[in-house]
Amino acid sequence: MVVKTDIAEWIRREHRSIRELSDALLGEVRLIPRFNRDGWLDALRHRFSRFRVHLQNHFEAEEDGGFLEPVVECRPTLSPEVEHLRREHSEMSRWLDQILDELRSVGPDDELLLEDACHRIERLLSALKHHEDHENLLVTFVFSQDMGEKD
């Protein structure tokens, strides 16, 4: 039971950290300056690159010895749900790579392309929030159900 409580706490801390990083990134993409975008674009590239590395490490930790394995061990019937989350990790990793490539290729005067990249980041962050909510519900359901059966 201690392990399951530790897993639930770990995922809450991780998701809180990702929310903080997401909020900072969202603030950047919602305020595209009209002029002198050089410094802003460099900062956005740097912030997004750090966010990408953090998120990809997070996905890897969830899958490799993280909470996904204990979920399946406790509730094998939830394997399709866990596989769905794994597929989303893979897709989001590819999406992160694509956006970073796009940010590296646009210049400060590429107004429409910058707006598009920023909208893609906003959409990614929205999908990530939905994904995390799904994970939280799954973990809460599995571990609270499992602990409830032991009473």
| CATH class of the domain comprising 2-150 | mainly alpha
* Domain locations in the chain as residue ranges: 2-150
Closest CA to 77 of 5, 30, 138, 151: 138
Which tokens sit at 125?
């962050």
Reported residue count of the chain is 151
Q: What is the dihedral of CA 75, 79, 81, 83, to 10 degrees?
A: 150
State the alpha helices, DSSP H only, in the chain: 2-29, 38-63, 68-74, 79-105, 111-150
Q: List the pLDDT tens digit at each of the 151 positions of the chain.
A: 445 667 777 778 888 899 999 999 999 999 999 999 999 999 999 999 999 999 999 998 888 877 778 888 888 888 899 999 999 999 999 999 999 999 999 999 999 999 999 999 999 999 999 999 998 888 888 777 654 444 4
Closest CA to 48 of 90, 103, 92: 103
- How much is the pTM? 0.85
Say how far residue 93 (Cα) sits from the centre of its chain.
9
